[in-house]
């Protein structure tokens, strides 16, 4: 059996997320159907992260195992020929048999986009926040989240079964023209973690809470202590990192 890896991008607007659902359109369902059509075999694809409904990806990584000897470039071309326009295979490769898209990953990078004005073009890819934001206060408020911490306060309760400790290596708010972007990279993320951080930071930026409250929320280890989730459509999985031996 060969282990094949795909790097894919997708517009999450028309999906109920990555993971298969009893009803409704999912990225996993669409991708598996295309792979099975090309290879004429039952395939189960595993992703580096299970993005929610409306969340996008420009660097999602997926693996599956197959006994097909099809050349990976031919597989990539064939998939892009039948996939819908909101999913695209960017790269295809073969790797070692013990590779796992989720468990072999050592880092993941997300970006969350906020726009200051209504946009016809970007309305599905960024959260329009109409009120003024104190970006400097948001930066200072989020600073305590960098490093290794228990993020129970910033995730859905059911996502802590495997523990809530994450190592946040990059966390920065940057301004690009009329966009405000949160760049965040960590070894792992919990369900709704980025969206909760963004929603809380926006409340701080508009003056609803003082800057120091973010550190208090982190210490509380209680989801009720933090703010509401930011909308899903502003979030995008940009990249997944792996040890060099996998060649991914």
**Which residue numbers are catalytic?**
52
Alpha helices in the chain (DSSP H): 27-39, 72-82, 135-142, 193-205, 213-220
End-to-end alpha carbon distance in the chain: 19
Q: Which residue has the tokens 């405000």?
A: 180
Please tell me the distance from the alpha carbon of residue 119 to that of residue 116, in angstroms, as a whole number: 9
- Work out whether strand 235-241 and strand 56-66 pair parallel, antiparallel, or are unpaired: parallel
Residue pair 51/237 in contact by the 8 Å Cβ criterion: yes
Q: In this structure, are strands 147-150 and 127-128 parallel, antiparallel, or unpaired? A: unpaired
């Amino acid at each position: 059996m060969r282990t094949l890896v795909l790097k894919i991008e997708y517009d999450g607007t028309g999906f109920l997320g990555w993971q298969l659902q009893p009803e409704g359109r999912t990225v996993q369902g669409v991708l598996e159907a295309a792979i099975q059509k090309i290879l004429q075999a039952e395939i189960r694809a595993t992703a580096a992260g299970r993005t929610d409904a409306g969340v996008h990806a420009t660097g999602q990584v997926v693996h599956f195992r197959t006994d097909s000897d099809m050349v990976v470039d031919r597989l990539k071309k064939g998939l892009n020929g039948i996939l819908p326009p909101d999913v695209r295979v960017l790269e295809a490769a073969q790797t070692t048999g013990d590779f796992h898209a989720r468990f072999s990953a050592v880092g993941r990078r997300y970006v969350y986009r906020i726009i200051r004005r209504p946009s016809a073009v970007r309305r599905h890819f960024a959260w329009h926040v109409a009120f003024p934001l104190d970006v400097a206060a948001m930066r200072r408020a989020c600073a305590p989240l960098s490093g290794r911490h228990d993020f129970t306060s910033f995730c859905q309760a059911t996502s802590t079964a495997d523990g809530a400790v994450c190592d946040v290596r990059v966390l920065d708010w940057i301004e690009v023209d009329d966009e405000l972007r949160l760049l965040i990279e960590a070894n792992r993320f919990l369900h709704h973690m980025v969206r909760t951080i963004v929603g809380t930071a926006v409340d701080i930026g508009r003056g609803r809470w003082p800057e120091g409250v973010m550190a208090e929320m982190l210490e509380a280890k209680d989801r009720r202590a933090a703010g509401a989730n930011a909308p899903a459509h502003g979030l995008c999985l940009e990249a997944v990192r792996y040890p060099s031996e996998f060649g991914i």
